[in-house]
Amino acid sequence: MSIEITSISKTFESFKALSDINLKINTGELVALLGPSGSGKTTLLRIIAGLETADSGSIMFDGEDNTGKSTQDRKVGFVFQHYALFKHMTVFENIAFGLKVRPSKLRPSKEVIEKKVNELLSLVKMEELAKRYPSQLSGGQRQRIALARALAVEPRVLLLDEPFGALDAKVRKDLRRWLRKLHDEYPITSVFVTHDQEEALDVADRIVILNQGKIEQMGTPEEVYDNPTNPFVYNFLGNVNLFHGRVHNGIIELGSLKLDSPEHSEAVDRKIISYIRPHDIEISLEQYENEFVAAEVIFIRAVGPIVNLEMKRIDSGEYIEAEISKDIYKKLALKERQTVFVKPKDFKVFIPEDY
Ligand code: ATP
């Protein structure tokens, strides 16, 4: 089932929660709606579900207009952050619930329901726990049951709102890997809301980045991480160093650092902000040409294979964070208070006047 969202806008009193959202979700795709708190993620999910009405725009499912349809008629399944399982029902009964409450003409036989629930229990790897009550399950197990329950009624679309938000970091990580695998085995068109960048990068086929009710960028995890089209996305998707400088005739100047930038060959003395990820920073003990900037190492964290360095530029006093391999760290015998030379292996320049 494909979903086509066209020109959706939503205002609450005078607050514009969504402005002109356009998005096409392909059949079988797992799409993350990612953004900071208040960016409109849940509102968009609720509009897709039919739980909220948009002020304007349309929602099509497989080319069919669903804009005015009720949630029931849209046949969407939900999983929320707080697993709303029925406390007085066993795991088995919880999963079977949606099938049992169907009108008698549409209700499957007891045997069919049993077969379906057993299949789902096996899909979510919970066969052993069918007779337990929700209070006897861990948070992660409850969330898997909530997912099985949503899938039982064979929704055309699965909508998940921060499904793992209430769980601790380790369980979250396990569950999102599991969700990815489950989705590969059971490819139902799914949209999930998260404010966790790592979660979106880890799980989604495609990420839609929302900010203040607008789409900033959408693309595969690699596309948005490697080629952010604006500073918001760059900042939002990971740790970043920010250097202010100028560009003139294809040469970027950041303090004493000068770098070629052929894509800015036409620029005449313009202000820039350059963004450099910590893992794109190279460290050297010698200064070569004018490509390196001198910095003092002020903090080293050498736990695990990646070493985190915090440095202070000698010319401007700006802080620089770097991530280097333990091998390089050992080879250079780095110490705190040492002077090093820093070079960006990769960086991205944004000209603020463009925004
Ligand atoms: P979070 O990650 O915190 O859940 P979100 O990105 O999901 O945030 P939404 O819940 O979609 O954000 O809310 C977007 C904006 O719309 C927020 O500023 C919120 O306060 C506002 N909003 C949402 N629902 C209502 C409502 N029913 N009445 C008034 N304002 C609302």
Specify whether the CB–CB gap between 187 and 32 falls below 8 A.
no
Q: What domains lie within the chain, and their CATH numbers?
A: 3-236 (3.40.50.300), 241-354 (2.40.50.140)
ipTM over 0.85: yes
Please give the number of the atom of ligand 1 that sits closest to the Cα of 46. 11
Q: How confident is the model at residue 136 (pLDDT cuts 50, 70, 90)?
A: very high
Q: How far is the CA of 43 from the centre of ligand 1 (A)?
A: 6
Write down the pLDDT at residue 83. Answer: 64
How many Å apart are CA 349 and CA 243, to the nearest integer? 9
Report yes or no on whether pTM surpasses 0.90: no
Write down the pLDDT at residue 124. Answer: 83
Buried (b) or exposed (e) across 223-233, using 16+ Cβ within 10 A? ebbeebebbbb
Write down the pLDDT at residue 114. Answer: 93
pLDDT at 354 over 60: no
Shortest-distance Cα residue to atom 28 of ligand 1: 12
**What are 30-86's pLDDT values in tens digits?**
999 999 999 999 999 999 999 999 999 999 999 999 999 988 888 898 888 776 789
Q: How far is the CA of 4 from the centre of ligand 1 (A)?
A: 22
Least confident interval from 92-96, 199-203, 349-353:
349-353
List residues near ligand 1 (CB under 6 A). 12, 15, 17, 35, 37-43, 195
Average pLDDT over residues 238-250: 89
Average pLDDT over residues 275-299: 89
Only one residue has tokens 């760059």, namely 234
Percent of the chain at pLDDT above 90? 57
How many Å apart are CA 349 and CA 306, to the nearest integer? 26
Average pLDDT over residues 116-121: 92
Write down the pLDDT at residue 170. Answer: 82
Q: How confident is the model at residue 102 (pLDDT cuts 50, 70, 90)?
A: confident
110-123 helix and 91-100 helix, angle to the nearest 10 degrees: 130
Q: How far is the CA of 54 from the centre of ligand 1 (A)?
A: 14
**CB-based contacts of 18, cutoff 8 Å, min separation 6:** 8, 9, 10, 40, 43, 44, 47, 54, 213, 214
pLDDT at 290 over 80: no
pLDDT at 353 over 80: no
Write down the pLDDT at residue 355. Answer: 41
Q: What is the average pLDDT score of the chain? A: 90
Q: How far is the CA of 37 from the centre of ligand 1 (A)?
A: 8
pLDDT at 226 over 90: no
